Every structure is written in structure tokens, then in C-alpha cells.
A and B are shown apart, each in its own frame.
Chain A
């Protein structure tokens, strides 16, 4: 536990808790972003991929003769060509016992397993020429049986996608706590429902993009990459392309959205590196929107049967769930595609006091694009199932959903608390958050308005969704399972001669404000103005090694590394000041870039003066005194495996029962992420996350037919939330810092997405209640609503 004499939280002129604007947003506002595709290197080639038109087919023959002769074409490479430069991978981890997935090559050697899988690469002088050449390639295919419906994946007569694995299952899991069967046998009421969650994709506005530049003279690979995980990818490029790690340099400047989608290993990306090795020229690959739809990882795609035992007094006594999720033909490397299902079964029910819980998870293969982790991994599924069941139970018992939650949520004084699946909650604030959201939305007034309007035939619904959120993954995460993905982070900080600070850190920026928040922590601890701290992230050669940004770990882990580096540098600065002023460093502090006398506040020396003396007049310093003006510190997360946060969301909507359309009127979110370094950035994380969650409830679904053909891979047909349909989102805060770190900050990146769809589902079902019908299949399209209403 932290026990520091000078806490960063209460230092004079602290930036902690201040909503300062992001300095690095300026250039984005002036059109001076530096996105991967903005860069053009001399002699650079462009790649296009021929993609499988079938969901499952054997490659009989490739005829690329005409393409080879096409203008601008430099190189054509198939799976075998690329495999000579790049080793295949297997998307399993040791801590998922029994998990299996076949070896995956960057481009398949014999067989395409999903529609859109890249099978052939062409490098040409321009992207247009590469596409022209793709059109000239002829492939003879032998179509194979397609497994499109995950419900049939484990049926005995379903053909196996990978016969060598013995079945179509990649992973399964059974969790049990307490006396589930007995409790259900004795239960006064049992609620049983089935929920469906559509397959989504990230649809970052910036598609995946990279430039691979292999310099044969030094054997060095430089990759300019739209990726949120440069260190992991440095490792992957090194091991799979057989280049030592020190010769792989990954540079991630501005990232146009990632949300977990841009940290997985993609065949196109490794192929692009291989093409650079083969041609000796820089090679760019920027996915177009169609390619994004068929090859960016998908996510969700769950079917959950759920059962809940409740007493007549509205006490939840037990829950049982069965989750089936289809992940495409391969488990994605290196994080695996088991994580989402794993989090679904572990998080479900986690906000409530019952202890009898059983969960079954089946993760199966299909001939569809691969599925993997995306923002709020598993959370929206777990939250929607849990909160949906709580509301169904409340409705059956005639209890108000608020009262149902008051009776069952883990009490605010019940911590530390261990969930039935072993999750350790240090301290959550469910009840405080519930009361907060009720106050923000004026719940009673809304209920009154709803009742009044219902008499006029206007059907509105109010929905609540409590959630828990996994943040700050601990030191065992991924490494334990054998993946070389770091759980610690590092920070390097130096004094410039002018008195400014340069700081590099291994957590990365994708627009959430990482650099700003890190600078706020550094400036606060150093006693420097924010403008004096220059940040650098996303460059494997210029920053310490770390885990980067995913799983809401930036502030909670990276921030602590920055704090420690800043403290070390401040102490070193004060040592120099002490030497100059011939006093003890203990008597000094830094405020507003001036060294001051701690007791009197008198300014003694500027930090700039320390720089001048230390770097240029070290002759004036005592003999054998060596100013240490560059420091580095690393931080390993402490305490339980995760820092859990919690919150609640509420939705208010109006249903048009004739058309099945509904309109969101307002959305509220309360989040407790502990200490907020920059409250505005927290709010914007929540709002953005909420709207990604709303997409799941309103629109988003990758539609496939029985032949595994993706039916809507355009932005005209795959609908994402746009400004006109999205309501204002009011955000409130409850602050429960974690005591396991100095800053007390937990993550906030998943919260919005975790609870939004559940709140909408509950609001919609609230509106549907007079019609004695309900919906549990997302997205809630007019078609589905009209069917539920019996109108069609």
C-alpha cells in the first residue's frame, strides 16, 4: 500500500483532477496528423490481396501469368512464397487448458477457410495497379462444406473444418460455485431466457495500415504501423520473420481508432513485411473498407442460455448460463479467441450477492472471419445477460427494477468481496452509483411521465444496467499463458538543457488522451508546468519496453511508471540544486519550474538553471558529483489480478409500436474509475464507449448467409451509430480510488461499451411490457420488434 509523505494528489499546482485540453489534439485539428497511410517512402510499393470468394475452398491452381505481366507489378506471392520468410503461428495459450487451434500461415497454403481470407499478394508501383493485376489472376477452387451456424458446430454429422483437431471446438470451460442444482430445485421462481448477440466489427474510421521497410544492408525491419501494441508486434515480427528483436523497429504515430482491433496478428501485415524482405523495397498496405469488413477481427457473436432462481421477495439466489460463441476458423494469435467467452462466463452476475453459479462455455470454429478481442471484451454480453435477467425477474415479481437492484447488488460496505467465479473486488460502489444515476435522471419523474404518456398511447421505456469492468490487468496476464505481451510498463524522463522535460512511456495513444494524462502526472510530480513536458509514445526504439495500451491499463499502470520516473528525476534535480545552493536537497522542492525552499516557499533557482549548470558548467559542481538527469522507472501492477471498476447506465427511449422503430431520448452513465487524472477525458471515454455499445443494440451485425457469404460488407449496409440518432449522454462520477497504487486510478475504457446495450435492451423491454412481449436478440431491428409485437 502507498504511504508517501508527499502525495502527487495534493502537491501544489497539481494537474491531477484537472480537465486540461490535450496538447497533441492541436495538430489533428489542423490537418497535421501523422497516420501511417500519410507516409510515402522512396521506392515504396503498394500491396493488394486476392481474397477467397468462398467461405471454405481448396486452392487447386493459381494462374498469375497475366498478372505478372501487368503494368507496375513487381512481385506476386502466394502462401508458399510468404511461408519461406514467415513462420506460421498458433492461437492458443497455456492457461486455457485443452485449447486447440491449427497452425495459421500469413496466406493459406492449400485452403481458404473464410470468405475474404487473403490468399495471394501482389506488390506493385501503385495500389490501383496492384488491384488491376489482382483482377487478372485466375484461381481454380474446389468448394468445401461450409460451417456457418455455430449452433451446429459440435453436431456429430457436421464436417470438421480442421479434421486433425478431432472436432470443431477450440475451447470449452465449466465453472461452478455453491449448490446450484439444489438452489434451483428449491427455487420459488425460475426465470429462463436465451440471448443472442450479433457479430460486430470495429469499423475504425482509419483502416488498418502499415509500411514495412526492410533494409537488407543492415538486416533491419522498420514498420510504420497503425497498431496499439508496438512491443508485442516487434516481438511477433522478430520471431516470425526471423529477425533479431534489436533489428525490428516499430513506429506507431497517430492511430485512427483501434479499440482492440489493431493489436492482433493479421496475415496481410506479416505478408507485407515478407514482401518488403523479398523486394528489398518499402511496401505499404492500407486496407480498403471492404477488406476491413472481411479481415479486421470481428467480435461478440454469442448465444447465451440463462437461468435465474429468485425468491418471491426478489432475492436472486442462483444463476446458470451456457455461452456458445463462434470464432471463425482460427483462434487469433497471440491473444487467442477464447478470452471473450472466458470473460463472459466470469463476469456474468458479478455485481450481485448470490453465490450459487454455474457457467458453461463452448468456443467453436466456423467458416467466417476470425473473431477476437475488441473494446469491453465479453462485458456487454455478461452485462446484458445479467441485467436482462434481473429485469425479467423484477417484472415477473412485480418489483420495480430499482428496488430489485437495491435488494441484490453487493452492498457498498461488503468489500473486499470475492465473486462466485473468483473475481476479487477491492471496493466497488454499486449502491452509490445507483443512487447517483437515479438522481441524474430524476427516475421518479421519468416513471410518472412514462405512465402519463402510456395513457395517450405513447410507449416509452426506461432501462438500467449495472456493470463491472475489468481494468489494469495484473502481472500474470498473458505472460502466464506463454504470450510475450508485457504486463508492466516503463517511463524514461530527461531534463533538457533549457529546463524542459522530455518523457517517453510505453503506454500508447489512440486519441483517448494517454499522452496528456501522462504529462499531467509527470508535471504534477515534477512541479513543472504542463507545457514544459514533451511526451513521446509508440516507438519501440525510443521508449522503454512495455505492454502498451489495451484492457484499460494506460493510466493505472503506465501512469504509475511515469509517477515514479518523475519522482526520481525531481529528486535528482533537487540533488543538483542542493549542490549548487550548498544545502540539503531535503529542504528543497520544485514548484512551477522553480526550485523553492520547502519551508518558506522562496524561489532559489530555476530548473532551467539546473540544466545549464549540470550540462554546461559541471566544472562548478563538487568533485565526483555526477548529475543524473535522465531516469527510467518501470511499474508492475500490484494487488489482485485486476482493478475492477463499476458503474451504471440508464436509457430512456420511445417506441413506435406501429413501425418497430424506436428513438433514444437520453442516456445516462455513472462510472467509478477511482482517481480521475483528467475528468473530461474520462467522460469522453465513457461517451464514446456508450455509443459503441449503442451500436450493438441498434444496428451492428455482420450478416452471413448459410454459405458463409458476408452479406453487408459496406458502410451503406453495415450500420454504425451516426450523430442524428444518438442522444445526449450525461455522465456522472463516483470516485473510489484503488489503494493498491499511489494515484488510485483504475481504467475507464470499457465502461461505456459494457453497459450501454443492456440499458437499451431493458428500456425497450420496459416499453414492450404492456404488449406482453420482449426481445433478447440484438440488434433490435424494426423487423425483430414488429415480429415480437406480432404485427408481422
Chain B
């Protein structure tokens, strides 16, 4: 299980990356944390001719915030995300997701941007980015464009990125007062790929749910917004009747795909169970009984 032969260049700037991508086209792959790419190379499932190592590019690093926006560089390692006070304060959902990402040794290398670009449907970060309505800065030789998280994930390991583009960072609106977020995930073993998960955010300070956003992961070929279910719960106190109605409505939102261990039907059942749990979690925090 040894990687095939490739050329390796450690790029020092984005313009160097663009040069290399132009020259090598689809034969080049960018390596950031490499925690998904390297296993795929070891299994010879992907055989790039060139690896462009972007780990030295300063423009891709760092977490900054202005009054209204939190900006997270693509090269932010998962552990940095998990330990950043700014993230905890302004995008707490992301901090809550980090402990679910594999294990410490993987979190020390794996990157925030890598997780988004890899677009693994069972990953936490893409789902959280959708809940938080993130905007991804994609840069190419031609310039920079911003793509919202909702438009970014296209399918299994597929995104809206065009050839020649690189993800530089993601912007998130800073968490407003009165909002709570929560992440519920079922995993067979700690750090495993999720059997199913849901990330959520809502304004809950009145004890009622407003502006609820629910995104499921490990359910279809990409993270899925459950808008119908969220609409049912809008304004409710997460009471039994509202939850029951929302569970029914979930079937309009979700079209689960079974995996090796869990059938599509079971995923749908679990999605309903998690709906109730995540809503309770959001409201529990609202009442100030933080677990």
C-alpha cells in the first residue's frame, strides 16, 4: 500500500499555485492536511502526477474577525478551530463539531478548508458551514468569487469549484445574541465517520424557536438542509406536537442513501430521532442549563 510516483512542489504563494494548476491541469492535486488524500493515494485510488503542497502559504492561514464577520483561513487545522476563542465566541457550532472529527492526531494535521473542499457527505464541517450560511472565497488567476455554502456542495466529493480555483477562506456572520447552536451525531465509535448527524442553529432566547436551520449529514451524497421540518418548528417551543409534525415533514426534506452498515430506512428513522434531540438541545441551552 505505497503511493504511486508523483512530483512534489511546495508552493510559496497563490500565484505559484495558479501557475502549477494551469500547467498541470487535472494531473495536479493540492495537498493541505492530507488526512483524506494520503490514504487515497496509499490505496492508489487517486494517482496525481503532481502534489502541490500549500501548507506554506500564509494567505491561507489564520482566523480573524471584524464586527460582523468571522473569517477562517482554509489552512486552519481542526485543532486550531477547536481551541480558538474567536471561533467559540462567534461560531460556536464549529467548536462543537471539532471533537467529532476523527482523533487528535488527525485533527492536528487535517484542515478546515480541506474538509470543505473534500466534500465528504459524512463530514461535520460542511454541514456546519451550511447551517452558518458560510461564504467561501474561491480564488483563481482570474480573481476571487464568493460562493455560499448552500451552493457549494454538489454531491459525493463534488463541489462548485472550477478548475484553477483554490479555497482561500470562509466567512461567517458572527453569532448574534439569543442564538444557540447544537450538533447531534451518532457514530459507532468515537471519531468514526458519522452514521448520521445533524447540525442546527436557532434563535431561542424567548424559549421559542425562530430562524431554525437544520442540516443533516451522512444521509445523502451531500449535506442536506431540512427546510420543511424547520418551517414547521418555526415559532414553536419544541413541544411534542410540533416535533411530531416536523418529523413527518422531514420525509419531504430527506431522501437518505443507505451505507454499508445502515439502510436508507434506518437513516430516515434516525434522522427523526436526532431532530427531536437537536431541538431539545437547542432549547436546553436557551434555558441556561449548558451541559
Is B truly associated with A?
yes
**Contact: A792 with B192, CB < 8 Å?**
no
In the complex, whether B38 has a CB less than 8 A from a CB of chain A is no
Tell whether A127 is near chain B: CB-to-CB under 8 Å. Answer: yes
A786 contacts B266, C-beta separation under 8 Å: yes
A128 within 8 A of B: yes
State which of B2, B191, B261, B273 has its C-beta within 8 Å of the C-beta of A128: B2
Interface residues of A in 676-735 (CB under 8 A from B): 699, 703, 711-712, 714, 716-717, 719, 722, 724-725
Contacting pair A722 B190 (CB below 8 A): yes
Choose from B1, B2, B4, B261 the contact partner of A783 (Cβ within 8 Å). Answer: B261
Contact between A724 and B2, CB atoms less than 8 A apart: no
Whether B186 lies near A661 (C-beta < 8 A) is yes
* Chain B contacts for A722, CB-based, 8 A: 189-190
Question: For B5, B43, B270, which residue has the most chain A Cβ atoms within 10 angstroms?
Answer: B270
**Contacts known (A288-B1, A711-B260); A783 close to B266, Cβ less than 8 A:** yes
Contact A724-B190, Cβ < 8 Å, known A781-B261, A783-B261: yes
Pairwise interchain contact B262-A782, C-beta atoms closer than 8 A: yes
Minimum distance in angstroms from B246 CB to a CB of chain A: 16
In the complex, chain B residues whose CB is within 8 Å of the CB of A288? 1
Q: Is there contact, CB below 8 Å, between B269 and A792?
A: yes
Given contacts A719-B192, A722-B190, contact A135 B44 (CB under 8 A): yes
Quick one: which of B213-256 are within 8 Å of A by CB?
none
Chain B residues with Cβ under 8 A from A716's Cβ? Answer: 192-193
Taking a contact as CB atoms under 8 Å apart, the answer to whether A290 and B269 are in contact is no
- The interface residues of chain B lying within 8 Å CB-to-CB of A128 are 2-3
State whether the Cβ of A791 lies closer than 8 Å to any Cβ in chain B: yes
**Cα–Cα, bound, A791→B247 (Å):** 14
Which residues of the partner chain B approach A131 to less than 8 Å between Cβ atoms?
A: 1-2, 4, 44
Q: Please tell me if A659 contacts chain B, counting CB pairs below 8 Å.
A: yes
Given contacts A135-B44, A290-B43, A783-B266, contact A724 B1 (CB under 8 A): no
User: CA A132 – CA B4 in complex, angstroms?
Assistant: 7
Q: Could you say which of A135, A716, A782 has the most chain B C-beta atoms within 10 Å of its C-beta? A: A782
Contacts of B190 in A (CB 8 A): 722, 724-725
| 0 or 1 for each of A119-156: is its CB under 8 Å from B? (1 = yes) | 00000000110011001000000000000000000000
Q: Known contacts A127-B2, A289-B1, A724-B190: does B260 contact A703 (CB below 8 Å)?
A: yes
B265 and A792 contacting across the interface, CB-CB below 8 Å: yes
**Interface check A658, CB cutoff 8 A:** yes
Beta-carbon contacts of A643-663 to B below 8 Å, as 1s and 0s?
000000000000000111100
Instruction: Scan residues 602-660 of chain A and give those whose CB is less than 8 A from a CB of chain B.
Output: 658-660
**Chain A residues whose C-beta falls within 8 Å of the C-beta of B270 in the assembled complex:** 659, 782
Main secondary structure of the interface of A (DSSP, over half): loop
B260 interface neighbour in A135, A717, A725, Cβ under 8 Å:
A717
Cβ < 8 Å to A, chain B residues 146-201: 186, 188-193, 195
For the complex formed, measure the closest distance between the CB of A722 and the CB atoms of chain B, giving whole angstroms: 5
Q: Does B83 contact A (CB under 8 A)?
A: no
Are B188 and A699 in contact (CB-based, < 8 A)?
yes
B263 proximal to A (CB < 8 A): yes
- Residues of A within 8 Å of B269, CB to CB, are 786, 791-792
CB distance from B2 to the nearest CB of A (A): 4
CB distance from B46 to the nearest CB of A (A): 13
- What chain B residues lie within 8 Å of A289 (beta carbons)? 1
Known contacts A712-B260, A725-B190, A786-B269; decide if A132 and B5 are in contact (CB<8 Å).
yes
Interface residues of B, count at CB 8 A? 24
How far in angstroms is the closest Cβ of chain A from B256?
11
Evaluate contact between A659 and B186: CB separation under 8 angstroms. Answer: yes
Contact partners of B263 in chain A: CB under 8 A: 783, 792
Task: Point out the residues of chain B lying under 8 angstroms from A659, CB to CB.
Answer: 186, 270, 273
Residue of B nearest to A714 (CB): B43
Interface bits B249-291 vs A (CB < 8 Å: 1, else 0): 0000000000011110110011001000000000000000000
Rounded to whole Å, the gap between the CB of A135 and the closest CB of chain B is 7
Which positions 658-672 of chain A face chain B at CB distance < 8 Å?
658-661
What residue in chain B is nearest A722 (Cβ atoms)?
B189
Q: Which of A127, A132, A725, A782 contacts B266 (CB 8 A)?
A: A782
Least Cβ–Cβ distance between A112 and chain B, in angstroms: 20
Closest chain B residue to A48, Cβ basis: B2
Q: Which residues of A are found within 8 Å of B4, using beta-carbon distances?
A: 131-132, 135
Is B1 in contact with A792, judged by CB distance below 8 angstroms? no
**Interchain CA distance A660-B273 in the complex, whole Å:** 11
> A659 CA to B5 CA in the complex, in Å?
45
Query: From B196, which residue of chain A is reached at the shortest CB distance?
Result: A659
Cα-based distance from A131 to B41 in the complex (angstroms):
13
Is there contact, CB below 8 Å, between A719 and B189? yes
A714 and B36 CA atoms in complex are apart in Å by 14
- A660 to B262 CA separation, bound complex (whole angstroms): 11
Chain B proximity mask over A484-512: 1 for CB below 8 Å, otherwise 0: 00000000000000000000000000000
Whether B195 pairs with A782 at a CB distance below 8 angstroms is: yes
- Distance in Å from the Cβ of B186 to the closest Cβ of chain A? 6
CA distance A783 to B190 in the complex (A): 18
Q: Please encode chain B, from 33 to 46, with 1 for each CB lying within 8 Å of some chain A CB and 0 for all others.
A: 00000000001100
In the bound complex, how far is the Cα of B260 from the Cα of A580, in angstroms? 76
Tell me whether A658 and B266 are in contact in the complex, defined as CB-CB below 8 angstroms, given that A127-B2, A719-B189, A781-B261 are known contacts: no
- Across the two chains, which residue of chain A brings its CB closest to B187? A661
Q: What separation, in Å, do the CA atoms of A135 and B43 have in the docked complex?
A: 12
CB distance from A284 to the nearest CB of B (A): 13
- A128–B44 alpha-carbon span in the complex (Å): 11
Q: Which of A766-792 contact B (CB under 8 A)?
A: 781-783, 786-787, 791-792
- Contacts A699-B188, A716-B192, A782-B262 known; 15 new A-B pairs at CB < 8 A: A128-B2, A131-B1, A132-B5, A289-B1, A659-B270, A661-B188, A699-B189, A703-B260, A712-B260, A717-B260, A782-B195, A783-B263, A791-B269, A792-B263, A792-B266
Binding site for B on A (CB under 8 A): 127-128, 131-132, 135, 288-290, 658-661, 699, 703, 711-712, 714, 716-717, 719, 722, 724-725, 781-783, 786-787, 791-792
What are 18 of the A-B contact pairs (CB < 8 Å)? A127-B2, A128-B3, A131-B1, A131-B2, A132-B4, A132-B5, A135-B4, A289-B1, A290-B1, A659-B186, A716-B193, A719-B188, A719-B189, A725-B189, A782-B188, A783-B262, A783-B266, A792-B266
- A-B pairs with lowest CB-CB distance, top 10: A288-B1, A128-B2, A724-B190, A658-B273, A792-B266, A792-B265, A792-B269, A783-B266, A722-B189, A131-B2
